[in-house]
Structure 1
Amino acid sequence: MSNRIFIIGGGGQIGRAVALKFLTLGWNVISSGRKVPSEPINNDRIRYVTVDRHDTQRMREAISPGVDLLLDCLSFDESDSNQLVELQDLVGRICVISSASVYMDDQGRTLDEASDFGFPDFGGPLNIDHRIVEPGPATYSTRKVAMELRLLSGAAEKSTILRPCAIYGPHSKHAREWFFVKRLLDGRKQIPLAYEGKTRFHTTSVKHIAQAVAAAIESATPSTMNVVDPQAPTTREIGEAIMSAAGVYAEIIGLPVVDEYPPSVGANPWGLKRDMICVVSNAYSPIGEYGDLIKPTIDWLMSDLDLVDWKSELPVLAAYPFSLFDYEKEDELLRNL
């Protein structure tokens, strides 16, 4: 009998990438969510089940009689880990998606609260033993840490925690690449980037997450892994890679460094005030750099996304606390330059 993987949140960008990876490995895939994806993967080794992940009894029925690997793409807090611990008797290995946002600098500053308390200065690449925030209900990151600690206390021997950074891939609700793609589709000739376009926010391909999930099958896998691309591109390099994949080009204008965060012009989804770079785990095999892996995302954005109604299709990106497309303010600044 083939091995089986159960994916919580299988319709999202991570779940789809992992499902495709495990199909190539010959596994049977059970993809779960509140509803069947609007564009399901057409393969007879994928079974779609509709289930609310907070309904533990229904989850138990969906997983029974058991699976070799459970991937949780939707584990956000301690209560989610409590459920995974309760279900562990049906699972060979458990893998959960956390976030590199759990790291903080020596002054306790985090990426979550940079606009309120100042941007963190990590002092260099972040290893998995770097200082993390205290667990609790206050922020996205503190909830993620609470989730991590509960899982490791209740199911450490069979659990792997993955900490990606700026995730990219088709079918995302937070497609950062839309910052450049929309400008290209709108015919913008110049694109201003804050902090000279030189800072680095480490990128993570969903294909690398899939590689790491596959590595989690092995019992010798570390309990916690950073999952990022082999190199961290600058914001300018990200823009250049996107334009190359799109076959449409504009001039990138690096704006002078300013003290404010976020800046009034040139703010973008990667434009950090200081670098955030993670040390790559050696437990999985990277398969390419950002420029090698970004094209499927750009093709998806350019062919499937509604240019007018993008906010409903990319709700996480639309919820940013600053305007991503204030062309009037950009044009005024560019004229003055």
Structure 2
Amino acid sequence: MDKIALVIGATGQIGQAAVPALARDGWEVRAASRHPDGVWPAELGVREVRLDRGDDAQLAAAVGDGVDVVVDAVGYNAGHAEQLLKLAGRIGSAVVISSAAVYADTAGRGLGGDFPVPITEAQSTMAPDDGDYATRKVALERALLDAGDALPTTVLRPAAIHGPRSEFLREWYFVRRALDGRRHRILAHNGENRFQPTATANLAELIRLAAAKPGSRALNAADPDAPTVREIGAAIHAVLGYEAEEVLIDGPPPMGAVGETPWSIAHPFVLDMSAARRELGYAPVTGYTESLPATVDWLVSQARERQGGDAFPRLNELHGVDFFDYATEDDWLAQRSNR
């Protein structure tokens, strides 16, 4: 009898990597999303299911008489955990995507706090509540992990997710600069910021392994490397064959958001992957630089389809910063050259 996997959020960035990984590993996959769009090759045998996650009846129908594993790529609060737990009798196990944003440093600060390098799963987390994204993810985790054997759940904690098919890919910061012909790559803090990346291909591999080995645990989900933002910018422009003069600022942005990037956090944020190797036998399938060509190609193709300009405005919206305020950059560069 085939093993059945239900993937919630199947057409999103994570789902589009997880679905084929599971199908090629012998799972019969039900790909659930609000807008099924037939993206799956016929040979994968994927069955598409229309699902609005907020509708309990639709979720119950997608689970049907039972599935061996539910992969939840979109759950983000305690209510979503309760939805799954109500169906625990028909679900063998779950793999749920949380976030490394759940971690708290000794002062109770989240991302941007002063963490050990690297961060293990023993690090404390924020208090669960409905206050923001991170605390909602904590509430999701706690509800599922506290359920124990009722629904064995592997919680995965990725950091800066990258890979095609996202509306707020951080890599757009450097790709757009190349497309716009910006001749300088300006980086605050000397470009030394480190914010752990997680390739969707590596996340899909962790999902595949966790689905095959159920258990109740929280595991970091990350690439084997954590490059500095300076290394990231150089690598993206190398993929594009684009040359820009690197301008390093010894300190914070000197004017507006000049030199600030989507990876700019106050202290290094690097994840330890020992537990995933030990518990799941995880080995990364790619590194950051090796995975870039597919991401960059997708961003460029989308920018062309969307007629250029800010083809991905959600990056600015997500961070609350105008990363492409070229006028301010030019003013600062002019002042710098006149010194």
Same fold (TM over 0.5): yes
2:317 maps to what in 1?
318
Kept after mapping to 2: 8 A contact 1:208/1:229: yes
Letter in 2 for 1:25: D
Q: 1:64 to 1:269 in 2, by over 3 A?
A: same
Cα deviations across residues 274-321 of structure 1 (Å, max 9, x unaligned)? 11111113132112210011211111001123254645x552543321
1:50 maps to what in 2?
50
Q: For structure 1, which segment, 178-187 or 87-96, has the greater mean C-alpha deviation from structure 2 after superposition? A: 87-96
Give the whole-Å Cα distance in 2 for the aligned partners of 1:34 and 1:293. 28
Counterpart selection for 1:177 from 161, 165, 171: 171
Kept after mapping to 1: 8 A contact 2:93/2:214: no
Give the whole-Å Cα distance in 1 for the aligned partners of 2:59 and 2:330. 52
Deviation at 1:123, TM superposition (A): 3.4
Cα deviations across residues 192-212 of structure 1 (Å, max 9, x unaligned)? 011111110000000111111
Cα deviations across residues 173-222 of structure 1 (Å, max 9, x unaligned)? 22110000001001111110111111100000001111111111244656
The 3-state SS of whatever aligns with 1:93 is strand
Give the whole-Å Cα distance in 1 for the aligned partners of 2:145 and 2:75. 13
Cα deviations across residues 144-189 of structure 1 (Å, max 9, x unaligned)? 1011000112245521000000000111122110000001001111
Matches within 5 A, 1:78-97: 78-97=78-97
Cα deviations across residues 224-280 of structure 1 (Å, max 9, x unaligned)? 1100111110001111221222222322322111399x9631111001121111111
Q: 1:250 to 1:327 in 2, by over 3 A?
A: same
Deviation at 1:104, TM superposition (A): 1.2
1:21 maps to what in 2?
21
Matches within 5 A, 1:105-184: 105-111=105-111, 119-156=112-149, 158-184=152-178
2:262 maps to what in 1?
269
Letter in 1 for 2:19: A
Give the whole-Å Cα distance in 2 for the aligned partners of 1:317 and 1:5. 35
Deviation at 1:92, TM superposition (A): 1.7
Give the whole-Å Cα distance in 2 for the aligned partners of 1:59 and 1:309. 39
Q: CA RMSD in A?
A: 2.0
Matches within 5 A, 1:164-313: 164-219=158-213, 223-258=217-252, 264-280=257-273, 281-282=276-277, 283=280, 284-305=282-303, 306-308=306-308, 310=310, 313=312
TM-score (norm 1): 0.91
Identical-residue share of aligned pairs (%)? 34
The 3-state SS of whatever aligns with 1:318 is helix
TM-score (norm 2): 0.90
Q: Which runs of 5+ in 2 are unaligned?
A: none
Q: 1:174 to 1:232 in 2, by over 3 A?
A: same
